[in-house]
Amino acid sequence: MAATIKGDRRTDVTGATPFDLGDAESAKSRSRVPEILVGTFLVAIFALGGAWFFSSSTRSVDYLALRQDVARGEVLESDDLVPFRLSTDDPVLGFRAADTELLVGQVALADLKIGTIVTADQFAEQAQIPAGSGIVGLSLEPGEFPSLSLRVGDRVRVVLLPVSGSEVGEPQGSVLIEEAEVAEVVDVGGNGRFVSLTMPAELADQVAVADAGERIRLVQVPRS
């Protein structure tokens, strides 16, 4: 059977036109273009969704830190505090910047360094001082206070231990205060306690000095 060439088509003597493979491949490629576009669109949507989820789960909150060192027993002022922004999805126990007024006027329970994030266990409300009295704050470890159940209103005797290595015949300790009232008890980590005692003003200085040498012990006594 003979065939003739007409232009770029081949036609046999019967007039039938053979199937053109080139046209089929072009049509197939064109049919895939929408699929590629849809796939690209879905990838972009999932990427944006992941970015949104990450940003929404990581919150930025303004917390409070110390602008300068604060010594134990020092009353906190607004100038001692500085806000800072923290982005985290973990729980933070620090005070937020909006709580500044709640902290001003409270007393530091320990020596705190500049930059420390302010938390509730670092400060306590300043106790009201009766006329003629003084309040002394003591940071005590187990064995230096009588009981883990020590409470506000309990009465204690303040004892000064002897100097370490003292010879026989030297003073073996003494009672500084026969009876002082517990004004406040705060946990300071572990089993330690910060104990505030109310006592006559003229004796408060002696107890404060003795506490600097870590020679203070408390003995719980009944109310007189």
The length of the chain, given as a count of residues? 224
- The most confident of the ranges 83-87, 120-124, 183-187 is 183-187
Three-state secondary structure call for residue 34? helix
* Domain residue ranges in the chain: 20-57, 59-123, 127-221
Q: pLDDT tens digits, residue range 50-59?
A: 555 545 545 6
> With 90 as the cut, is the pLDDT of residue 156 above it?
yes
> With 90 as the cut, is the pLDDT of residue 40 above it?
no
pTM check: above 0.85: no
Q: Which two tokens stand for residue 38?
A: 């849809």
Q: pLDDT tens digits, residue range 167-194?
A: 444 445 688 889 999 988 888 777 788 8
pLDDT attached to residue 205: 85
Three-state secondary structure call for residue 177? strand
Architecture of domain 59-123: Alpha-Beta Complex (3.90)
CA-CA distance, 186 to 207, in Å (whole number)? Answer: 19
- Taking the C-alpha atoms of 145, 149, 155 and 159 in order, what is their torsion angle to the nearest 10 degrees? -10
What is the percentage of the chain residues whose pLDDT exceeds 70?
A: 66
Residues 6+ apart with CB under 8 A from 182: 150, 151, 152, 153, 154, 155, 156, 195, 196, 197, 198
Q: Provide the mean pLDDT of the chain.
A: 75
pLDDT attached to residue 127: 62
8 A C-beta contact, residue 61 and residue 85: yes
Per DSSP, helices labelled H in the chain are 21-57, 100-103, 201-212
